[in-house]
Amino acid sequence: MNEVTNEFGGKVAVVTGGSLGIGRAVVERLASGGAAVVYCGLDEESVAATETELRAKELDVTGVAADVTDAGEMRGLIRLAVEMHGGLDVLATCAGIQRYGTVEDTTEELWDEVLDVNLKGVFLTCKAAVPELRRRGGGTIVTMSSVQAFASQDRVAAYTASKSAINGLTRAMALDHAADGIRANVVCPGSVDTPMLRWAADLFRGDTSQEDQVAEWGRAHPLGRVARAEEVAEVVAFLAGPRSSFITGAEHRVDGGLLARNPAALPEA
């Protein structure tokens, strides 16, 4: 293998939300680069299916069903990786949910659900992981946020709040643990073709098809399409590996140019 394809040789990674969408792509990318990867998902069936599919590619992956909002389960996830492989070098937090509503019509229960999964889940996983990263002499944390940390859609009050907070939490961790040799960065995708995006497309497609709705959202990006999960995973791998050794506390947009555009467009010439 060349240096890039084996950049995670001998490394141990944990990925939350690793059985679907971006998280699954991250698991495959890190394992393809030589890492031993332990990941979790909430749905036992998808966790098992992902493990079977990736092991068939001779990748060193282990999946468990675990809830990122449960501190004990996140400690158990990190402990499993350490017991199986001797330590921890990389943490990627990819678990997340999307819900819709304004501040006025968002219930307290829905608010708690979104903040618990999207933000508290990151906190609990990192809290469990940092001591193990420190014991290895350092490591990397990559959190998954969204362009909506910078510019919100309508009716996503809880989601936008959670993603903005992830960016702030990541900056704090980068400062607090730099002396431990731990780097922390956040990835902020635009629209990505995942089961969560397809679920949202079904909610809002009206009389059009799911594919047409996804394509319409893609046209909002200057590159003219939504991202593939694998494209986001490449950025995660870069930030998790040695090629980004002087990058920490940074926000990395993977948005096809979405936030580069000023909506007050000039008239056609």
Active site residues per annotation: 159
Cα 11 to Cα 133: distance, rounded to the nearest angstrom: 11
Phi-psi region of 63 (alpha: psi -120 to 50; beta: other; left: phi over 0): beta
Residues 6+ apart with CB under 8 A from 149: 160, 163, 164, 166, 167, 188, 251
Write the burial class of residue 144 (CB in 10 Å: 0-12 exposed, 13-18 middle, 19+ buried): buried
Please give the structure tokens belonging to residue 173.
């961790």
CB 161 within 8 A of CB 115: yes
Residue 74 amino acid letter = M
Helix ranges, 11-120 (H): 21-32, 44-55, 71-85, 108-115
8 three-state secondary structure: coil
CA distances from 172 to 5, 98, 223 (A): 31, 24, 32
Edge to edge, the sheet with strand 251-254 lists 61-65, 36-41, 12-16, 90-93, 139-144, 182-189, 251-254
Cα 93 to Cα 77: distance, rounded to the nearest angstrom: 12
Cα 27 to Cα 33: distance, rounded to the nearest angstrom: 10
